[in-house]
Amino acid sequence: MKKRDFLSLGDLSKSEILSLLALASRLKKNKVKRLSPLKGKSIGLLFQKPSNRTRVSFEVAVWQLGGWCLYLGPEEIDLGKRESGADVARTLSRYLDTIVARTHTHADLLELARWASIPVINGLSDLSHPCQGLADLFSIKERFKSFQGLTLAYIGDGNNNVCHSLLLGASQVGLNMKIASPTGYEPRRDILDQAQHFAKESGVGILLGDSPWEAVKAAQVIYSDVWVSMGQESEAEKRLRDFQRFQINAGLLEGADKDYIFMHCLPAHRGQEVTSEVIDGPHSIVFDQAENRLHVQKAVLMFLLVEK
């Protein structure tokens, strides 16, 4: 079987995304049952950054599919410093069946994928977080049964990995998207161009602006992420100032659809990008999202490693 990587939701076709969501749904229904499609397979988690959901969900996913998982943190492999990404990729390809990489930069991820002879899965980079985006699409479809006629309002930093993945995924499956960001925090132009191409084909709209109130108006899905991500600590003071009026709170949500859901990829900073009242309220599905990481990642592993 020819090697295939999963680095971005833009790497998949619409039919592949929908097939992965359907497979994740079947796997979730059988979540207690241990399967064995990955029997004899070894999966390496090559992480430059700490993780809760990504690490635990992948380790559990591999175990439930009958495989074996090995965690390789910065203390084992100081990627690009102690050893080049090319050498790491070529070495690990001799031991493992796939690499899940959580990297500081997307360039590090691309280097691994270029030199590895086994599939590389993006567990997070500064540009893209496709496993999260896929879990988000799954969570939305699980709640509403269809994407048709829905609008996702993303409030906050548009130039981050989660927003980029949502753009590429939503535009393919037929989900309208509105993004409200402060000036200077818009999505990357190349990601936006790719998403707009997908949106034209699927017949949905992508709107950018700087008004949270306009973005949430009549939206069924409200999404937020942290204002200061890992690696941006030196910008914290400026970012907290720039994003002050982009908090998700009860007042803002008065304009949303009455049956809206609130989403957040976690970890969350209550009192900054979202109030406790919202994230812990009846419209929040943040822990459904967290659980669904497990099921979509099992689907991705089977897609890449199991003969069709």
Catalytic residue ranges = 102, 129, 132, 225, 265, 293
The H-assigned helical ranges of the chain are: 14-29, 53-64, 85-92, 106-115, 130-144, 161-173, 189-202, 212-216, 236-242, 250-253, 276-279, 286-305
Phi first, then psi: what are they for 78, rounded to 5°?
A: -85, 80
- What DSSP letter does each residue of 50-106 carry, written as one string? --SHHHHHHHHHHHHTT-EEEEE-TTT--BTTTB-HHHHHHHHTTT-SEEEEE-SSH
Please give the Cα distance from 257 to 150 (Å, whole number).
10
Which amino acid is residue 162, in one-letter code? Answer: V
With vertex at residue 156, the alpha carbon angle to CA 207 and CA 293, rounded to the nearest 5 degrees, is 95
